[in-house]
Amino acid sequence: MNKRHTLNSNLTLINDTEWNGLGLVPRHSPYIEQYLERTLETMKRAVERYRRTTAIRFDLHIPKQAAAPDSEVISRFFSSLQAKINAHQLRKARCGQRVHTCQLRYVWVRERHLSDHRHYHCCILLNGDVYRHLGSFVSVNEGGASNMAKRVRSAWASALGCSWEDSAGLVHYVENGVYRVDANSPSLWRDYSALFYRLSYFAKSKTKPFGDDKNNFGCSRR
């Protein structure tokens, strides 16, 4: 039987290895069911809007010497990233290239380990006809943020109010962190399930810093 979270009675904990027919990583249970629900809803909206969807996983770190960030830092990040995506599409249009819409969708979770500074696990979901790759993230300068990896870092620097140089090491692109889900592909369910399995980590109850009046989880609203 599921039980309520001891630090937030509005949240329900589940210990299963499967939820709604989708697999969960056993070693990370218990999971917060409401977070799983919102993650799945965000994925559904992305694939319904863009039949080919690219998902990219990465982590955002707060500088260790910095004060605790305000609660709006993650909202500023996604707003900045959407603005950079829009600017990229506008530049393509001005060059006479074909342009597709790309409404950014995302899921994020705030965590803190015992000896670690606060950080965010993030996943962005993009129009797969526009963005298929992360691009090289080994760069010494911002250079117009010419690929998605650089746009992410530039947006995080903007959200923190720091320079490109000072943002070095604050974005971690996880191994095998790019997923592609094609609604017209025979592998749709396999790819969809694999992405949810990866993102189920966001919903684990452990390492969530409850009690400081800040949200631990969020996702795009549309």
CA distances from 69 to 44, 72, 76, 118, 123 (A): 31, 8, 12, 9, 20
pTM of the model: 0.90
Task: Please give the backbone phi and psi of residue 99, each rounded to the nearest 5 degrees, phi first.
Answer: -125, 135
DSSP 207: T
Which residues have C-beta within 8 Å of that of residue 32, sequence separation ≥ 6? 5, 11, 12, 13, 203, 204, 205, 208, 217
Residues 4-23 have a mean pLDDT of: 81
Q: For residue 90, how many other CB atoms are within 10 A of its CB?
A: 11
DSSP for 87-101, please give it.
Answer: HHHHHHHHTT-----
In tens, the pLDDT along 33-86 reads 999 999 999 999 999 999 999 999 999 999 887 766 777 999 999 999 999 999
As given in the structure block, the two tokens for residue 166 are: 């000072």
Q: What are phi and psi of 187, to 5 degrees?
A: -95, 15
